[in-house]
Amino acid sequence: MIPQRRVRLIHNPGPQRKTDYTLVLVRHGRLWVSVFPVFANRLVGEALANRTLSGLSGYTDVSSEVKAGHSRFDFRLDFPNGSMWVEVKSVSLVEQTVGKFPDAPTERGRRHVEELTALRRKGIRAAVVFVSQRSDTRTIIPHEVIDPEFGERLREAQRAGVELYGFNCKVTASAVTLNNPVPVVV
């Protein structure tokens, strides 16, 4: 947030809120950037419901906010031969087209990845979907400087067979949509 930046807000008053508005978009140079992490889950949920999420197909049902172990995962996909657990992570930090997750240490994020790894080791499919809510992201990596443990857990997850997917988004002043798959490099 820099003074004089153009922003987009959602009017969302409520008795538990400190303000009546939620910041959702910031103009960064010539790009609109979404700063509202909830959009990532919504975008993936819509793509799963429409069966348009690149890399995932063949499932018969989608459930959201499903508990497994000590975590609540964003989605469970049911296939004829079993289930797949999916966790979505919103990537907000991008430097020179490289999305970096997390932007702050994340104990919860590490726990999710550890539990997905444990599920995979039991023969259950598991995935992490990283969503960068801007159009200039070309790759996504773990942000080792901020949270080296998350990076190690993610590498361990990949070695165990947890699937990693990355996407950037098309962001306009009035809409955020999933755009292109981008590689997740661990």
Q: How many Å apart are CA 32 and CA 29, to the nearest integer?
A: 8
* Predicted local confidence at residue 149, as pLDDT: 97
Strand pairing partners for 113? none
Q: Which residue is it, tokens 């820099």?
A: 2
Using DSSP, state whether 106 is helix, strand or coil. Answer: coil
H or E element in which residue 99 lies: strand 98-101
**Whether 171 contacts 32, CB under 8 Å:** yes
Contact 86, 77 (CB under 8 A): yes
Predicted local distance difference test score (pLDDT) of residue 116: 98
Three-class SS state of 51: coil
Instruction: Copy the structure tokens of residue 166.
Output: 């990355």
Alpha carbons 34 and 25: distance in angstroms, whole number: 4
Would you list the domain boundaries of the chain?
A: 36-182
In eight-state DSSP terms, residue 184 is B
| pLDDT value, residue 178 | 97
Specify whether domain 36-182 bears CATH 3.40.1350.60. Answer: yes
pLDDT < 70 positions in the chain: 1
| The token pair that represents 87 in the structure block | 């966790």
Return the pLDDT at 1: 65
- In this prediction, residue 74 carries a pLDDT of 97
pLDDT of residue 2: 77
Decide: 102 and 113 in contact? Cβ < 8 Å: no
The pLDDT value given to residue 26: 93
- Name the pTM for this structure: 0.94
